[in-house]
A and B are shown apart, each in its own frame.
Chain A
């Protein structure tokens, strides 16, 4: 294990040093060698805009559409409002992982494992960020083929700077877009940790994550949101599927992978005969409410502008969540006699998950329907189906994210409306055709996540092993994996 870490260290340093040197060399070389090194003549620069055209461009940005500077230069590119909102949203989404998800999951496990559970989220905040810089953003968002981008176009974020990338958003720096997408890449693998909490070796977790983001997340993000991706309705995808903020890319991929993890790793020692109660429900409630607030960045930020689409995504998100919370709590009240507050919080999360793919495409009444359906369905999934099948998905990552994401992605194909989002009007609105496209994207996500996760886990199990020993598991992962105890008085 130490050898693997040492190798990884040397490898990354070897990448960083020449890149840093190259940056300096390039900066000084630009002035002197620009004309002499180009093998073919540059195309003539576009003609300067007239005053009328410049005013039109400014008005376009003020009215929340990008300037369409066909065959001429434009003097307007960045919208301050759009950039401010997307940067804020990026911060909100990062907050969803830490402390949102860290607290939500942390409170649900036994106190001897709370630190190891929080470590899963916190470590990924750092780890995925570095992978993103090196090759992740490039693999997901550089133009390539229908399935992945490229490993070298944006290697070390080369070329990702102040200039907007019009394929994704013409009014914010590409650097902002890259940061926003990074936060999604961080939280997705963190969601899976709910399924293997309290029993996975930390070293196996690290290796699993680097493989999973590379084989599942980066390609899936490219397929649904990347330039030329197979399912990207807005950039030439052959199977145009609507996924506003990540029902497939984030929730189905993590939820289904979670199920596979739960099945391959097996049940916790003592499950289900020994009660394993949440050690601190208060932490989970704080986490869940942080998730609700942060999710406005997740969904409304995915509008990639600060205009009316952001408002409508915000509204759909909020009302779906409210309906789902009441749906879960109401069902629990009727079936069990008491509405638990952890149930209400779980309903919130289920609603947030389900509205994610639909948020920028559906009206508020449709959002209420999506919310209620998700709240009730996820409650039944978690309380009845899981017990019936007997698998140990410790924190219900599959029950909430896998099922909620599937419901939301499919219902997007039912409720998507051109009146809410004019970009899909007449082309990708709700109906049988769109529902079928949604089903294809959902199915592909399920298969990719399930198969890749299974293979990765089996390889790791055969080499370094997935689970801690039974003795370590009984003692607790905080002490045995991290040498720490959470509560020392």
Chain B
């Protein structure tokens, strides 16, 4: 089993979700995060004082899936999240030791 963590631009979330369900992925966990890479921040002004805001809002998607789906999922994410501009994000792949479905006590690939 593998876990895919993808950091993407927030407005791309719907597209990525739709692309993943097209290849059969039923569930995911989504978190709102802040971060930056090469994309620069911006300046905001309050009462005449300028502030440089480095952190940009991003969305992190976490999906745990069986090994055979991993390549297709990564492909789907990358294609749907890409805009071609700096700040599109990154995808990471991690190995998963064990997975358990709480309702039925199923373990392993049956649980994802």
Bound-state Cα–Cα, A108 to B49, Å: 13
* A343 B51 Cβ-Cβ under 8 A: no
> What's the nearest-Cβ distance from chain A to residue B89, in Å?
25
* B44 A382 Cβ-Cβ under 8 A: no
* B45 A278 Cβ-Cβ under 8 A: no
Bound-state Cα–Cα, A346 to B44, Å: 16
- Does B47 touch A at the CB level, under 8 Å? yes
> What's the nearest-Cβ distance from chain B to residue A273, in Å?
11
Interface residues of B in 54-95 (CB under 8 A from A): none
Bound-state Cα–Cα, A338 to B46, Å: 11
Say which residue of A272, A275, A338, A382 sits within 8 Å of B47 (CB atoms).
A382
- Does B48 touch A at the CB level, under 8 Å? yes
> What's the nearest-Cβ distance from chain B to residue A270, in Å?
13
- Does A429 touch B at the CB level, under 8 Å? no
Say which residue of A281, A338, A379, A387 sits within 8 Å of B49 (CB atoms).
A387
* A342 B46 Cβ-Cβ under 8 A: yes
* A346 B49 Cβ-Cβ under 8 A: no
Bound-state Cα–Cα, A338 to B51, Å: 14
Chain A residues with CB under 8 A of B50: 336
Chain A residues with CB under 8 A of B48: 332, 343, 379, 382-384, 386-387
Closest to A346 in B: B47
Chain A residues with CB under 8 A of B53: 275
Closest to B51 in A: A275
- Does A277 touch B at the CB level, under 8 Å? yes
Closest to A385 in B: B48
Chain A residues with CB under 8 A of B46: 277-278, 281, 340, 342
Please indicate which of the listed interface residues B46, B47, B48, B49 has the most CB atoms of chain A within 10 Å of its own CB.
Answer: B48
Bound-state Cα–Cα, A464 to B46, Å: 34
Bound-state Cα–Cα, A281 to B51, Å: 15
* B45 A277 Cβ-Cβ under 8 A: no
Q: Mark A259-293, 1 if CB is under 8 A from B, else 0.
A: 00000000000001001011001000000000000
* B51 A383 Cβ-Cβ under 8 A: no
Chain A residues with CB under 8 A of B51: 275, 277
Main SS of the interface on chain B?
Answer: strand
Closest to B53 in A: A275
Chain A residues with CB under 8 A of B47: 108, 342-343, 346, 382-383, 396
Chain B residues with CB under 8 A of A386: 48
Closest to A338 in B: B45
> What's the nearest-Cβ distance from chain A to residue B76, in Å?
33
Bound-state Cα–Cα, A343 to B48, Å: 8
> What's the nearest-Cβ distance from chain A to residue B44, in Å?
7
Bound-state Cα–Cα, A379 to B47, Å: 8
Bound-state Cα–Cα, A379 to B48, Å: 7
Bound-state Cα–Cα, A329 to B53, Å: 22
Bound-state Cα–Cα, A278 to B46, Å: 8
Q: Mark B11-50, 1 if CB is under 8 A from A, else 0.
A: 0000000000000000000000000000000001111111
Closest to A281 in B: B46
Chain B residues with CB under 8 A of A382: 47-48
> What's the nearest-Cβ distance from chain A to residue B102, in Å?
24
> What's the nearest-Cβ distance from chain B to residue A310, in Å?
33
> What's the nearest-Cβ distance from chain B to residue A388, in Å?
12
> What's the nearest-Cβ distance from chain B to residue A212, in Å?
25
Bound-state Cα–Cα, A382 to B48, Å: 6
> What's the nearest-Cβ distance from chain B to residue A309, in Å?
35
Chain B residues with CB under 8 A of A343: 45, 47-48
Bound-state Cα–Cα, A194 to B102, Å: 52
Chain B residues with CB under 8 A of A275: 51-53
Closest to A335 in B: B48
Chain B residues with CB under 8 A of A342: 46-47
Closest to A381 in B: B48
Bound-state Cα–Cα, A336 to B48, Å: 9
Bound-state Cα–Cα, A180 to B45, Å: 38
Q: Mark A362-388, 1 if CB is under 8 A from B, else 0.
A: 000000000000000001001110110
> What's the nearest-Cβ distance from chain A to residue B70, in Å?
35
> What's the nearest-Cβ distance from chain A to residue B5, in Å?
26
> What's the nearest-Cβ distance from chain A to residue B2, in Å?
33
> What's the nearest-Cβ distance from chain A to residue B108, in Å?
36
> What's the nearest-Cβ distance from chain A to residue B34, in Å?
14
Chain B residues with CB under 8 A of A396: 47
Chain B residues with CB under 8 A of A346: 47
15 A-B pairs within 8 Å (CB atoms) are namely A108-B47, A275-B52, A275-B53, A278-B46, A332-B48, A336-B45, A338-B45, A343-B47, A379-B48, A382-B47, A382-B48, A383-B48, A386-B48, A387-B49, A396-B47
A→B interface (CB under 8 Å): 108, 272, 275, 277-278, 281, 332, 336, 338, 340, 342-343, 346, 379, 382-384, 386-387, 396
B→A interface (CB under 8 Å): 44-53
10 tightest CB-CB pairs across the interface, nearest first? A383-B48, A275-B51, A382-B48, A382-B47, A340-B45, A336-B45, A278-B46, A342-B46, A396-B47, A277-B46
Extra 5 A-B pairs, beta carbons < 8 Å, given A336-B50, A343-B47: A338-B45, A340-B46, A342-B47, A379-B48, A386-B48
